[in-house]
Amino acid sequence: MIIPALAQNEENNHAGRYESEGGQSLTADLTHLSGNRYSVELSTTVPISGERPGCGGGLKGELAIEAGAGTLSIPNEGFIASEAESVLNSKLCKVNFKFSDKYTLQIEEGSGCTFYHGASCSFDGTLVHEASGI
């Protein structure tokens, strides 16, 4: 008996590993949870180079992806409640996700994430799905 493969729901087609190409090493692993919800793990690394210090870090959280975009918002563990809230001292670490096509993900760090990667790294970049070359 032949059973037809079910087409993956449009909202569920963003799962997988995405990696940057050149420069800092930036990865995003998206795991589909249900509906439009995903678990995401981000990591970034810049190697030590001559006089320039290296850095690295990562974070985990959940986001909803609607119309090819979403924002990951997690509590900033480096937030100092006794100081005024600002871009550097934000209650939340926010990272914006936008899919420009089936295999390309643009991520942009909003605010409050320096605690997770240090001053020389960021969660900014264009990432390509590992299956893009197949």
* 20-41 per-position pLDDT tens digit: 987 678 999 999 999 999 999 9
What distance separates the 2 farthest-apart alpha carbons in the chain? 67
pLDDT tens digits for 102-117?
899 999 998 889 889 8
CATH architecture of 15-129: Beta Barrel (2.40)
| Residues 80/82/84/88 CA torsion (nearest 10 deg) | -10
Question: At 117, is the secondary structure helix, strand, or coil?
Answer: helix
Bridge partners, 95 (sequence order): 72, 109
**Prediction pTM value:** 0.83
Estimate to the nearest angstrom the gap between the alpha carbon of 99 and the chain centroid.
11
